[in-house]
Structure 1
Amino acid sequence: MATSSVSKGCFVFKPDFKKRKISVPIEDYFNNEKVQSEDSKLRFETYHLLWQRIKSETEELQKKLNENLFDNLVDFLQKSHSEFQKNSRNWACQLKLREIPTAALILGVNVTDHDLIFRSLTETLQNNVTPYVVSVQAKDCPDVKHFLQKLTSHLMDCCVERKFNEEKSVKTLKRTNYSMDSLASWYATVTQVNETEYSERKRTSSSQWPAPPVVLILSDMESFSTKVLQDFISISSQHLHEFPLVLIFGIATSPVIIHRLLPHAISSLLYIELFQSLSCKEHLTVILDKVLLTAQFPFKISKKALQVLTNIFLYHDFSIQNFIKGLKLSLLEHLYSQPLSVLCCDLPEAKKRVHSLSVHQCENIRRLPSFRRYVEKQPSEKQVALLTNETFLKKETQSLLEDLHVYHINYFLVLRCLHNFTSSLPKYPLGRQIRELYCTCLEQKIWDSEEYASAVQLLRMLAKDELTNILQKCIEVLNSSTEKQLGNTAQKIKDFLAQFQNLDADSKEDEDACGSEAKGLQKTDLYHLQKSLLEMKESRRTKKQTKFEMLRENVVNFMDSLVRDYLLPPESQPLHEVVYFSAAHTLREHLNAAPRIALHTALNNPGYYLKNEALKSEEGCIPNTAPDICIAYKLHLECGRLINLVDWSEAFATVVTAAEKMDASSTASGEESEIIHARFIRAVSELELLGFIKPTKQKTDHVARLTWGGC
């Protein structure tokens, strides 16, 4: 429908309910023009199920990681007004209660994760401490009036048990101005509890108080105005005996910010206790350990893709939520672009799906580089069967998928054992974190690297206590696996431990031998002393290894054999493309955006984004059909540091009027010149908004260019 009006207006078009909404089938979302596959719906369902499992696992992990912090906060809040509850008439106690209990929660610079933490904290406090939990942000509180208004409105939304008192108090608050006096009277009305109600509630929920506190969370404390915080704290401290307020400051930088924002007269009204959350790097380590470094989830990420995700985390935002979104994007891209990702599921289900593979999917298996390398190593008869017989191919595919699953179980067990051996070595030749060791193992055969050789050399110098502790950790790693693999590896490590424990008697013999050598040096004659020293030096060169040194050598050789047998790179395994996502460039394009490159491409070649063939031009030419901002951008690239606006405007008019073949300075009418001038001003304003130019005081009719070079 079209409308025409002289003045501005609002036109409402009622929807036609007779027209039914056309629903798009689910499989259409996974239809890839470049990849022909008939399993698009099944791949979409596989993605949905896999992501739900990964999402629930990550949420549970984050909940466990924050559990200790939340428990400490709950204890602090429960004890904050306990003395006042017992001795409310004590004058000294009332003076002490002028200090507002304040929890300074240090969360780190990963600001994008703070909302999730505060939502979980609010839910925990409402379930264990008080129903009156309010969270406010600095953008909603420009002054004290709006602060109290926001606090009051959020308190009205809190869930309380006495609905009648709540409705009555709401009406009272609506009639009065927002102030701390009105909040105190509202709180007194809502928290009126007789003995029967209190005893009944005490039987059902012992953690609830008869008069619970009001918890106010300032999620971005650094962003609040200093005057607003000072006034609110000063007012609240005067009403603390009738309005039990507890503050929680969300701090991203350092607790010193409290004393920078608040003078001593105001900070002395706060009883501050610090609470430190776990480092975001520890969160990342746990998520990698439980999601990627396990055979529980069939989906895996290659070395380059994992480096893209970890580099964005370590060098950009430290955000666990963004890292999880990167995992989600990786899973989505893998199941969208790889037709054989339909087999990226649990092993029993994957074996069932192999039976229903079509002829086209069997050809996709034969085209895989890893499968082609596997076929080349087989005898000629088996090669013919794999390339011609689909039934035999499906049976072999099932066997290879099972081998891939066993490979991952053994791989991660040996990886953790190797990490226990190398994580405490000097200078960390193979990395301090397990993710660093994992990336090295993904890239190459780790035993061929110089870092591994130096690590083995250091392992041959470990003391007995260090070795026994490491072997004990390896036994715990092997026992933690539900699927028993690696043969009798655990038993061999236990035997090594037993042998180390039997070395105490031998160590005493070595000490006696050393003592006898020392006695041999007690000769006062210089000639005999020199002779004895030379004999000892020669004997040390040719002496045999002690039992401990031999046993330590056996342990290091045993670990080296495990590494060479089980830590082969994933590229060596047939059908690894089914479960491994390797398109790191796709992740980089979506997650690590380069805005300058995108802006330069859009302004220099608008046809790339607008999909318009008419906008394409030869290099160095400026098409007059391009948008005005593109014409102005290309013209400004030809200028130096200062751009003359008059010359720029004339060049712009020349390009714009090239289609009519007229001279903009002489033949164009006055009205057309004004329109072209207005278009030029708008284009220049847009370039200034994008940050390409800025006004300059050096010359009034010039602007300064802010960018140089191409992209």
Structure 2
Amino acid sequence: MESPLDSEDEFDEDEEEDRQIDLKRSQCTLPNLSKWYENLNCKVPSPSKKKRSSLQRSNQRKLVVILKDFETFNPNTLSVFIQILSGYQPKLPFILIFGIATTLSAIDEVLPHSSISRLSLKAFQAQPSVYFLNNTLNKVFLTSNCPFQLSGKLFKFFTQVFLFYDFSVNRFIQGVKYCVMEHYRVGGRSTGLLCCPETVLKGRVDQLEHEDIEEIRRLGSFRSFVESTKDKQKQIKLLSDDTFTKKEILKLMIELRQRIKEFYVALSLLHHIVSQLPQYPLGNS
């Protein structure tokens, strides 16, 4: 049975391991890492003398280095990095995980034979990048609940970059984040208030101040809406009466959300209808 003192000792050890140590950049070297790793292994209870020789390597904690987007790394830098780690292999059991978005032949294309020969390569496969991108789009962006909708041109541009350049889901998301930031930067406070879930939309419209409404009136889309209105009296109210403009903004926003819902319902129905057709015109998933 484990005593309370043993539990406290284990807790103290875990707390000591989790404690962060501030290091200067000049201290982040492989010799220092080697010393730290040696001290770390000294804390691990060693097996009996008979088993020590056979289990010495298997009991060592591995140092895992994950290199995402392998294709984007500089070949010379990566080659030198592998050669340096190879020199420390007797002391530091490194495991390198390469995130390859294309094919395994990318290793031969990026690394020279002198670096590849230092590696013991083992391949394992996760779901392809297209699978994760589809999940991200379907569950986050391409839903009626998402208040931020990409335009057709931007969506086409991002997907083309993904398919023909790097297959990087992370870079796709970073591009969308940039669009969101630019959207808020250009739109100002009024855009930030109105880009919200439908449940709080009415309250957000009520929070609009005169300056916010003036920002909306200066938008090209709003001016086009005013010009398309045939009722001259309504045009005057839209440009001068804040209360009337708020009601019209709320009405337009609700109509927009409804159109988005109808669009995704129609898109889903259309996809199910044509999903079994040859060449999958709208995809097969």
Q: TM-score, normalised by structure 1?
A: 0.28
Maintained 8 Å contact 1:226/1:262: no
Maintained 8 Å contact 2:216/2:222: no
1:372 to 184, 204, 226: 226
For residue 312 of structure 1, what is the aligned residue in structure 2? 161
Q: Which amino acid in structure 1 is aligned with residue 138 of structure 2?
A: D
Structure 2, unmatched stretches of 5+, are 1-13, 19-27, 49-57
Q: Deviations over 1:293-331 (max 9, x none)?
A: 013321111111222222232333332232222112211
For residue 224 of structure 1, what is the aligned residue in structure 2? 79
Maintained 8 Å contact 1:354/1:394: yes
For residue 415 of structure 1, what is the aligned residue in structure 2? 267
For residue 247 of structure 1, what is the aligned residue in structure 2? 95
Q: Is the alpha carbon distance of 1:313 and 1:375 closer, same or farther for their aligned partners in structure 2, counting shifts above 3 Å?
A: same
For residue 351 of structure 1, what is the aligned residue in structure 2? 202
2:44 to 191, 194, 200: 191
What is the CA–CA distance in structure 2 between the aligned matches of 1:218 and 1:361, rounded to whole Å?
47
Q: Deviations over 1:320-351 (max 9, x none)?
A: 23222211221122222235424222234432
What is the CA–CA distance in structure 2 between the aligned matches of 1:315 and 1:408, rounded to whole Å?
29
Q: Is the alpha carbon distance of 1:394 and 1:296 closer, same or farther for their aligned partners in structure 2, counting shifts above 3 Å?
A: same
The residue matched to 1:368 in structure 2 has which SS? helix
Q: Which amino acid in structure 2 is aligned with residue 191 of structure 1?
A: V
The number of equivalent residue pairs is 235
2:276 to 417, 420, 424: 424
Q: Which amino acid in structure 1 is aligned with residue 165 of structure 2?
A: H
For residue 133 of structure 2, what is the aligned residue in structure 1? 284
1:303 aligns with 2:183: no
Q: Which amino acid in structure 1 is aligned with residue 79 of structure 2?
A: F
Give the C-alpha shift of residue 193 in structure 1: 5.1
For residue 245 of structure 2, what is the aligned residue in structure 1? 393
Q: Is the alpha carbon distance of 1:375 and 1:251 closer, same or farther for their aligned partners in structure 2, counting shifts above 3 Å?
A: closer
Q: Which amino acid in structure 1 is aligned with residue 283 of structure 2?
A: R
Q: Which amino acid in structure 2 is aligned with residue 432 of structure 1?
A: G
The residue matched to 2:196 in structure 1 has which SS? coil
Maintained 8 Å contact 1:217/1:247: yes
Maintained 8 Å contact 2:276/2:284: no
Q: Deviations over 1:350-397 (max 9, x none)?
A: 322322331624644796155337634xx7776676566443332232
1:214 aligns with 2:62: yes
Q: Which amino acid in structure 2 is aligned with residue 217 of structure 1?
A: V
When Rg is computed on C-alpha atoms for both structures, the one with the higher figure is 1
> RMSD over aligned Cα, in angstroms?
4.6
Give the C-alpha shift of residue 398 in structure 1: 1.5
Maintained 8 Å contact 2:79/2:115: no
Q: Is the alpha carbon distance of 1:384 and 1:273 closer, same or farther for their aligned partners in structure 2, counting shifts above 3 Å?
A: same
1:360 to 194, 214, 219: 214
What is the CA–CA distance in structure 2 between the aligned matches of 1:297 and 1:334, rounded to whole Å?
15
What is the CA–CA distance in structure 1 between the aligned matches of 2:85 and 2:243, rounded to whole Å?
78
Q: Is the alpha carbon distance of 1:280 and 1:362 closer, same or farther for their aligned partners in structure 2, counting shifts above 3 Å?
A: closer
What is the CA–CA distance in structure 1 between the aligned matches of 2:245 and 2:116, rounded to whole Å?
77
Maintained 8 Å contact 2:66/2:96: yes
Q: Is the alpha carbon distance of 1:366 and 1:372 closer, same or farther for their aligned partners in structure 2, counting shifts above 3 Å?
A: farther
What is the CA–CA distance in structure 2 between the aligned matches of 1:344 and 1:385, rounded to whole Å?
24
The residue matched to 2:162 in structure 1 has which SS? helix
Q: TM-score, normalised by structure 2?
A: 0.61
Q: Which amino acid in structure 2 is aligned with residue 288 of structure 1?
A: L
For residue 331 of structure 1, what is the aligned residue in structure 2? 180
The residue matched to 2:124 in structure 1 has which SS? strand
What is the CA–CA distance in structure 1 between the aligned matches of 2:215 and 2:112, rounded to whole Å?
66
What is the CA–CA distance in structure 1 between the aligned matches of 2:268 and 2:245, rounded to whole Å?
35
Q: Which amino acid in structure 2 is aligned with residue 192 of structure 1?
A: P
Q: Is the alpha carbon distance of 1:415 and 1:374 closer, same or farther for their aligned partners in structure 2, counting shifts above 3 Å?
A: farther
Maintained 8 Å contact 2:162/2:172: yes
The residue matched to 1:247 in structure 2 has which SS? strand
Q: Which amino acid in structure 2 is aligned with residue 254 of structure 1?
A: L
What is the CA–CA distance in structure 2 between the aligned matches of 1:365 and 1:324, rounded to whole Å?
27
Q: Deviations over 1:431-464 (max 9, x none)?
A: 3278xxxxxxxxxxxxxxxxxxxxxxxxxxxxxx
What is the CA–CA distance in structure 1 between the aligned matches of 2:174 and 2:283, rounded to whole Å?
25
What is the CA–CA distance in structure 1 between the aligned matches of 2:146 and 2:270, rounded to whole Å?
22
Q: Deviations over 1:578-608 (max 9, x none)?
A: xxxxxxxxxxxxxxxxxxxxxxxxxxxxxxx
Q: Deviations over 1:33-52 (max 9, x none)?
A: xxxxxxxxxxxxxxxxxxxx
Higher relative contact order (CA 8 A, sep 6+): 1
Q: Is the alpha carbon distance of 1:262 and 1:155 closer, same or farther for their aligned partners in structure 2, counting shifts above 3 Å?
A: closer
